Every structure is written in structure tokens, then in C-alpha cells.
Amino acid sequence: MRVAGKVAIVTGAAHGMGAEEASLLAREGAKVVVADILEKEGEEVAASIRASKGEAVFMRLDVTDDSNWEKIIAATTAKYGRLDILVNNAGISSSAAGDWDGEEGWDRLMNINAKSVFLGTRRAVKEMAKTGGGSVVNISSMLGIVGSATNHPGYHASKAAVRNYTKAAAVRYGPQNIRVNSIHPGFMPLMRNAVHAANREAHIERTPLRRFGKAIEVANAVLFLASDDASFITAAELTVDGGYIAQ
């Protein structure tokens, strides 16, 4: 049990990668807060974890609302007495932002994908410091490292912001024994932008491992960085992309 006794909040945990991350952390011993704006789906994920003998509760969270963050972190510490792990997983894809040159889409991407990470981290670290440290894992994207002509520029910018904020936060909070790392998933069509399906074979051909990723492969990376196995790792960026951006 690699995170036994630890308390974790996972955002965007009502489906896809977030649900897989929350479930794996629970299987490995963590008490998990399934946080999402989708109430029905989030309750189902928490119930599934409990049915598998894990410990989990759903809490509604709009990651762009600082007052929501204040409430959920207070509720988490009131229920479990501490906070050890924050997984900033919530986000939207290029296809959810509309016009590539529109301000509305740009602002939506930056608020949900990037500002939310700042809001959650700055509150979570205060609780982590009270109990000797913790781990923040931010889900960025391989597109936060490289550019492309097929994705919204705001998506690239928002995920790049997560990447570099992670490093700044790692430097700032390291003296309090709080580690901050980022994960950069590659193409995973079941959870990410559906437009990728039109170019499925081209993307697979370009990926050295010749396949798309799976949610559990991102969850395994989250578990590693959240656990004490990664106790001397901070400010790192871990690509889970099958080698896609290496060429």
C-alpha cells in the first residue's frame, strides 16, 4: 500500500483519467476526495471506490472558484484531519474552447486548465505544511511542451503554464517538504479531444510505442509521484506519451 494513511484530493475525478487516478490511490490505501463539478458521475466514482473496500467521498468543486477551493479543503481536513496529496487533474480540451482567435475560448482554457492549479495549490500547501509536507501532482499535457497546428493555441498555453507554475511552486514550497511535479499525457482518445480520432493512424505511426495511452498508465505515474517512492523528486515533468514528442 504505497499511500496508506494519506489523504488525497483528485480534481476532475468524475470520469476518465481522474476517476482512474482516484481509484488507484484508494486501492493503494489513500482516503480520497473525488472532486468534480459533475455530481452524479462523481458520486458514482466514490461509490465504486467504497464498493471495492476503499475510502472515498464525493465533494462538488468548481476549480475556477476560489471560494469552492476554500470550502473543499476545509471539508477535507475536517473529515480526515489532514491533506497529503493534491492531484490537479481537472481540465478541458481544445475542442471545448471554440474559435482559436476568440478571447472567450482563450480565457476559458486558461481559467480551467491553469488558474485552477494555482488556486488549488496555494490553499492545499498550507494544510500540507501543518503535517510535515505533501505532494502536488499537476496534470499538464505533452502539448504543454511542444506546439502544433492542430490544437487550440490556448490549450498549448494553458498546459505550458501548468508546466512552469509547477517548477515555480516546487522551488517555493520545497523548504516545507512539499513536492510539486507535473505529468504530461499523450494521446488518449477516450479521455481527450475527439478530433484525434480522425488522425488515429497517423498519430499511432508517429508514436514510438505504436499505440495510444491508457488512463491507468497516467494513474500509475500519479501514484508514483504522490508516494514516498518519489521522496526526492520535485519540479520534474514526466511525459506519459509513448515517446511521441521525442521525434
The pLDDT of residue 84 is above 50: yes
Window from 86-90, 180-184, 199-203 with minimum mean pLDDT: 199-203
Tell me which residue of 90, 75, 76, 71 sits closest to 21, measured CA to CA. 90
Locate the domains of the chain by residue range: 7-239
pLDDT value, residue 147: 87
The 10s digit of each residue's pLDDT in 96-154 is: 666 667 688 899 999 999 999 999 999 999 999 999 999 999 999 999 999 887 778 88
Q: What is the mean pLDDT of the chain?
A: 93
Residues annotated as catalytic are 155
To the question of domain 7-239 being in CATH 3.40.50.720, the answer is: yes
pLDDT value, residue 100: 67
pLDDT value, residue 93: 76
The pLDDT of residue 176 is above 80: yes
Cell for 180? 510539486
The DSSP secondary-structure symbol of 235 reads: S
Radius of gyration of the chain (CA): 17
What is the rounded CA–CA span in Å between residue 205 and residue 98? 28
β-bridge partners, 36? 60
What is the rounded CA–CA span in Å between residue 35 and residue 27? 17
What is the rounded CA–CA span in Å between residue 196 and residue 118? 29
Cα 164 from chain centroid?
A: 15
**Strands of the sheet with 85-88, listed across from one edge:** 55-60, 31-36, 7-11, 85-88, 134-139, 178-185, 237-240
Tell me which residue of 144, 157, 146 sits closest to 108, measured CA to CA. 157
The DSSP secondary-structure symbol of 1 reads: -
What is the rounded CA–CA span in Å between residue 127 and residue 78? 11
Q: Residue 126 is inside which H or E element, if any?
A: helix 116-130
- Is the Cβ–Cβ distance between 119 and 48 less than 8 Å? no
Cell for 30? 489513500
Average confidence (pLDDT) over 159-168: 98
Average confidence (pLDDT) over 154-181: 97
Average confidence (pLDDT) over 57-80: 98
The 10s digit of each residue's pLDDT in 184-213 is: 999 886 544 444 556 778 888 889 999 999
Average confidence (pLDDT) over 148-169: 91
With cut-offs at 50, 70 and 90, classify the pLDDT of residue 46: very high
Q: What's the pTM?
A: 0.95
Average confidence (pLDDT) over 157-166: 97
Window from 5-9, 20-24, 98-102 with minimum mean pLDDT: 98-102
pLDDT value, residue 192: 46
Say what percent of the chain tops pLDDT 70. 93
CA dihedral over 144, 191, 105, 180, signed as positive or negative: negative
